[in-house]
Amino acid sequence: MIRSFILVAASLVLHLAAPTRLWVGNSLPLSDTQHSALLWCLKWALTLWATTDINSILNRWAENKWLWKTDASGWVWGQEIAVVTGGSRGIGACVVKQLVSYGIHCAVLDVIPLSETFTDDERRLVRYYKCDITSPTAIHSAAEAIRSDLGSPSILINNAGIGNGSTILDIPFENVQRLFQINILSQFSTVKEFLPDMLAKKKGHIMSVASLASFVSLAGAVDYSCTKSGLLSFHEGLGQELKYRHKCPQIKTTIVHPNWTKSAITAHPAVEAGLKRIGAKLLEAEDVAGAMVKQIIAAKSGQLILGPGISPKIRALPLWLQELVRDSQAYVVNGSGTTG
């Protein structure tokens, strides 16, 4: 923003002090008409630049729940405890490994044991709890065990998620039900378990992993798209409740929207062939995890768009343009099956 004001001021000085004919270098004189055109372009370009900067600042202010300053001094990473659902493999495991590198203790909730990629040193800061997160009772039991073993967590990363690859008519209802239980309903249970302690301490960070499917629904993955757009509503509503029901904007909330990432979902035959057809470049799980952990360490709220920056703006486009975007993705998910 400061650089925009400097440039605007410079343009005003130029406008007031410039001679009738402006020389560029030693050999390119500008006529009065060209000079006026240059000033007009400069004025509007700088105005647009300043407006963009101001908009970015307002966006960051809003994301931070109208708090001007982000104070990370209250976080002592060697004393913090993070809960990561689906943290045994994939993006979740990468997140755990990177959190541990800061000395953060991690409690992993998963139905499968920790992968062999964890070193002995990392495992000293990681505690695995076998937990089926489709069950609120199982989540409560795991939360009680975490509080007893480690203490009250200050970080909750709702990472667990699965995908199905079937049309609305073909998918068994039990598959839809399980996907909703894992991808979104479990987050109601985890937040119910861990938010009260965060409120008592006025410190915490709750992160949800969504997808660019939050903004574009995919044929053959309607249930998945529904849960990811639902997570965006969950994130927005949670932020509102923290500000106006609990009077605790200090608790950070983040939602992550990765583009297609190397994972069990993208490796599934129902998806892999479609991604190759459109020439999609997959993100690495480590890079997605890196952005997530960076947000945690910065103690900032917000939305992380790990893909085309225009993605959240798609819903603001004319309907015919929205439909063209959806059409371009119509055969990415083309098959049947589930990753969970």
Q: Catalytic site residues?
A: 224, 228
Cα–Cα distances (Å) from 66 to 88, 249, 255, 296, 318, in that order, read 35, 8, 17, 18, 31
* Residue 134: closest CA among 85, 189, 181: 181
DSSP strands (E only) in the chain:
22-24, 28-30, 81-85, 105-110, 126-130, 155-158, 205-209, 252-258, 302-306
Cβ(87)–Cβ(93) under 8 Å?
Answer: yes
d(CA 92, CA 94) in angstroms, rounded, equals 5
223 CB contacts (<8 Å, ≥6 apart)?
Answer: 164, 171, 175, 176, 179, 180
117 CB contacts (<8 Å, ≥6 apart)?
Answer: 93, 97
338 CB contacts (<8 Å, ≥6 apart)?
Answer: 162, 163, 164, 165, 175, 179
Secondary structure in 3-state letters for 135-192? CHHHHHHHHHHHHHHCCCCCEEEECCCCCECCCCCCCCHHHHHHHHHHHHHHHHHHHH
